[in-house]
Amino acid sequence: MANQNSECKDDLLSDPALKNHSNELSFHLATAENELIASARLLSAESQLLQSINGVIAGIKAIREVV
């Protein structure tokens, strides 16, 4: 399955316009991830908000692996 995803990604990124959009999306996701990590440092370990932020960070990381 991972190999199939890699082949699909390679096919999509062969188009320069799509590659540019992919790079831009990856940049914005990385920026959001960094902002969330910085905010998470300010919260207590038991905070539900911290748990939610960590879930969003995990989701962003998963998306970035595909993009």
The whole domain housing 40 covers 2-66
User: What is the rounded distance in angstroms from the CA atom of residue 26 to the CA atom of residue 22?
Assistant: 6
What angle do helix axes 48-66 and 16-40 make, rounded to 10 degrees? 160
* pLDDT, one tens digit for every residue, the chain (67 residues): 455 556 655 665 677 777 788 889 999 999 999 999 999 998 888 889 999 999 999 999 999 988 7
For CA atoms 32, 67, 25, 20, give the dihedral sign.
Answer: positive
Total of domains in the chain: 1
What's the pTM value of the predicted model, to 2 decimals?
0.65
Torsion sign across C-alpha atoms 38, 42, 44, 49: negative
Single-letter amino acid code for the residue at 13: L
